[in-house]
Amino acid sequence: MKAKSILIVEDDLFTSRLISSFFERKGFITYQAYDSGAAFMYAADKNLDMIILDVTLPTDSGVSIVQKLKSISPCPVIFYSSVTTEEMEIKALETGGDDYINKQRGLNVLYARINRLLSKVAIENEITSTSTTVSINNILLNAELSQCNIAGKTIELQKKESKVLNFLMLHKNSLVNRDEISYLLNGYAYDGWSRSIDLIICRLRKKLKAANIPEGAIKSLRGKGYSLIEHEFIAA
């Protein structure tokens, strides 16, 4: 797998090197910019997957350059700052930041948030690049029309049901976790308590069962997520 690249925009040399060393040990490629000019140069020259941006820079503030950075390099931007005010966090998010982490939280929290954002981007890219029509055995799903043709019989699905079934079919025989489904449907990670995903799966199973597909075709993996079992996903 190709290593992900991160641009660190931080004016403090020691902090920048600390962040860079941490993420390089995690397998990332890092670039360091100490002011907005260098940040724009790297954004234009490198194929970046993520930008870590400080609020306070020598000639600009992070919130004043985030939109220009994203217009040059359309990747997620996480603010990593020692500024703890609620006003600054809101301003950073409203001006284009994808997340805001206080430096007191530490690099492990930053690492976890970056991985979560990268997972979200990967899912969004996969959805954009994949076909809206997918088939397994004698079952054909048209996700764009929210219709599933099962052995010649068409069943209508709700939009979210269609999205989830499409994703499960594309990842047949593999674990699809709740975070992935939540990103797919809502654009953010699973909150740990909502039952909306379980209800969608329940409705899907009922509709598929009515078309003679066994409920076990979509298997629940307790505490993990779901898996579509290819050899069971067939109408009798």
For residue 22, pLDDT over 80 is answered with yes
Q: Which of 86, 103, 127 is the last residue of a domain?
A: 127
d(CA 168, CA 180): 11
CATH number of the domain encompassing residue 157: 1.10.10.10
Is residue 36 within 8 A of residue 11, CB to CB? The reply is no
Domain residues for 61?
5-127
Give tens-digit pLDDT for 94-152: 999 999 999 999 999 999 999 988 988 887 777 665 567 888 988 999 988 889 999 88
Give SS3 for 46.
coil
Please indicate, yes or no, whether residues 155 and 87 belong to a single structural domain of this protein. Answer: no
CATH of the domain at 32: 3.40.50.2300
List the one residue out of 161, 125, 126 whose CA is nearest residue 141.
Answer: 161
Residues 143 and 213 in one domain: yes
Q: Specify whether the CB–CB gap between 48 and 5 falls below 8 A.
A: yes
**Where is the domain boundary, 127, 147, 173?**
127
Mark whether 14 and 45 lie in a shared domain: yes
pLDDT in tens, 67-81: 999 999 989 999 999
79-95 burial by CB neighbour count: b if 16+ within 10 A, else e?
Answer: bbbebeeeebbebbeeb
Give the number of domains in the chain.
Answer: 2
| Digit-coded pLDDT (tens) for 145-197 | 889 999 888 999 999 999 899 999 989 999 998 888 888 888 777 877 888 99
- Where a domain ends, among 98, 127, 156? 127
Task: Look at residue 184 in the predicted model and tell me its pLDDT.
Answer: 83
- Clarify whether residues 110 and 146 are in a common domain: no
CA dihedral 114, 16, 55, 106 (to 10 degrees): 50
| pTM of the complete model beyond 0.75 | no
Alpha carbons 22 and 37: distance in angstroms, whole number:
24
CA 232 to chain centre: 29
Q: Same domain for 137 and 211?
A: yes
**Of 120, 211, 119, 199, nearest to 161 (Cα)?**
199
Residues 177 and 220 in one domain: yes
